[in-house]
Amino acid sequence: MSNRQSLIRRLEDRSAVVGVIGLGYVGLPLALAFSEAGYRVLGLDIDPGKPRALARGESYFRHVPDARVQRALDNGLEAGTDFSRAEEADALIICVPTPLNEHRDPDLSFIVNTMESIVPHLRAGHMVSLESTTWPGTTEEVLRPRLQQAGFSVGRDVFLAYSPEREDPGNASFTTATIPKVVSGSTPACREVAEALYRGVVDEVVPVSSTRAAEMTKLLENIHRAVNIGLVNEMKIVADRMGIDIYEVIEAAASKPFGFVPYYPGPGLGGHCIPIDPFYLTWKAREYGVNTRFIELAGEINSDMPRWVVSKIGEALNSRAKPIRGSTVLMLGIAYKKNVDDVRESPSVEIMHQLREHGAAVEYHDPYFPRFPTMRRYSFDLESQPLTAESLRDYDCVVIGVDHDLFDYERIFSEASLVVDTRGRARGDSDHIFRA
C-alpha cells in the first residue's frame, strides 16, 4: 500500500493523529472540531500559556466554551510547545499569523519558522496543510522547497496542501464544521489526501485546481469585503454631508431581491483578515507588473475612517462649545467587532490613540476586556470603567466604537449627555446623538 493510500485510509477510519500548529482564533476551533469528529488531536504553540490553559480545561476565548475544551481533553486532546512531537501526528495543519511588517509588506516569518521547526521531524506518509492567509504561490515557493531540500518527494513521500481558514469568531450561525472548506494540493495526490483530511471534519469540501487558486480564493473573499466596506464608508461620508441617513438608504436598497448585497459602514476595519489580506495581493501583484489601484483605494478609505470619526467627535464637542483637548471621552468597545475578545487592528483603539494625541482624556468600557490588553502598536495603562448612569453623564462624550450586544443602548442614549455613534445603533434625530 502506498503512502497516499495508507494515509487516506487512516484519515477515513479516524485512526490518524491530527496536529494543529498555532492554537489561536483559527487553530483552537479547528483542533476542537477534529477532536469532536473522533480524531486524536495534538496541538502545538510557541506560547506556553495556551497549552497550560487547555490542560486545565480552560478556553482563552470567550466564544469558545470551557466545556468544549474539557470534552476534547476527555477525547485525548494534548497540547504543548515541543515541536519535536510533530512526528507523532499523521497530518499537520499550520494556523499561524501572517501579519504585515512596518513597511506593510507580508511577514511570513511565522510560517517559515514553523516549517523549519517541523521539517526535521517529518517522515514518509506525513501531510502538511497550510491554512494561514498569504499571497498566491506561498505553498509552492516557500513550503515545497523546504520539504524537497529535506529529501522528500512531494506527492509520494509527503503530502502538501493549502486550505484557507474561514473562521468568523462570534458568528453564531456558522461553525468550523458547517463552513465549506476550499482545499487543494501541491500535486493531485496531495489534493486527494487533503480532501480526505477535511472531509472528516467539515460538511462540504470544495476542491480547486491548485494551491495558488486556493490562496487567491481566500484573498478574493476578504478583498471583496474590504472593497464593499470601503464603498459604503465613502457613501456614509457623502450621505453625512447631504444630511441623509445612510442606514435608511442601505435598508431600502436591501429590499431589492437581486443584484444588491448590504454592507454596513463603521469606524474602520479591524481583525486579522480584512485590514491585512489585501496587501498580500497588492504586494505579489507588483511582481507581475500590476498595480491594484482599486484594492488600494478601498484600503485608503477604510484606513482613513478613524481620522474621520475623530473629526466627527470634534464636531460633536464643538456643538457644546468644547474642544477635544481637555475633554473626557469614553470609548464603548475596544474589540475589532462586536461580541468578540479580539483587539487586533481595532479601529476603536486607533480612535483612542488619535483622541489622546489631540489632548483628550480617554477611557473605555468593554466587558470583554477588564484591563486593556498588550498590543504591539499601542500602550494604554487602563482598566474598563464601570458603566453607570452617573458615569455616563460625567463624560463629555461617549463614543460607540463597537456595538456589543451586551450594551444597554437605551440606557446609554438616555443617560449620556453627548454620544457619537459609529455603528448605527441610534435611529431617529436627537440633538445629543451624532452619527459618525
**Mind telling me the catalytic residues?**
273
The count of residues in the chain is 436
Q: Beta 159-162 vs 181-185: how paired, if at all?
A: antiparallel
Phi then psi for 199, rounded to 5 degrees? -60, -25
Helix axes of 188-199 and 3-12: crossing angle, nearest 10 degrees: 10
What is the Cα–Cα distance from 105 to 357, expressed in whole angstroms? 27
What is the Cα–Cα distance from 398 to 134, expressed in whole angstroms? 38
What is the Cα–Cα distance from 413 to 384, expressed in whole angstroms? 19
Geometric angle at alpha carbon 389, from 383 and 395, rounded to 5°: 60
Grid coordinates standing for 249?
438608504
The answer to whether 351 and 421 are in contact (CB under 8 A) is no
Angstrom CA distances, 284 to 43, 105, 262, 344, 410, stand at 31, 10, 30, 23, 47
Does the CA dihedral 319-325-328-330 come out positive or negative? positive
Contacts of 134 (CB under 8 A, 6+ apart): 98, 106, 108, 111, 215, 280
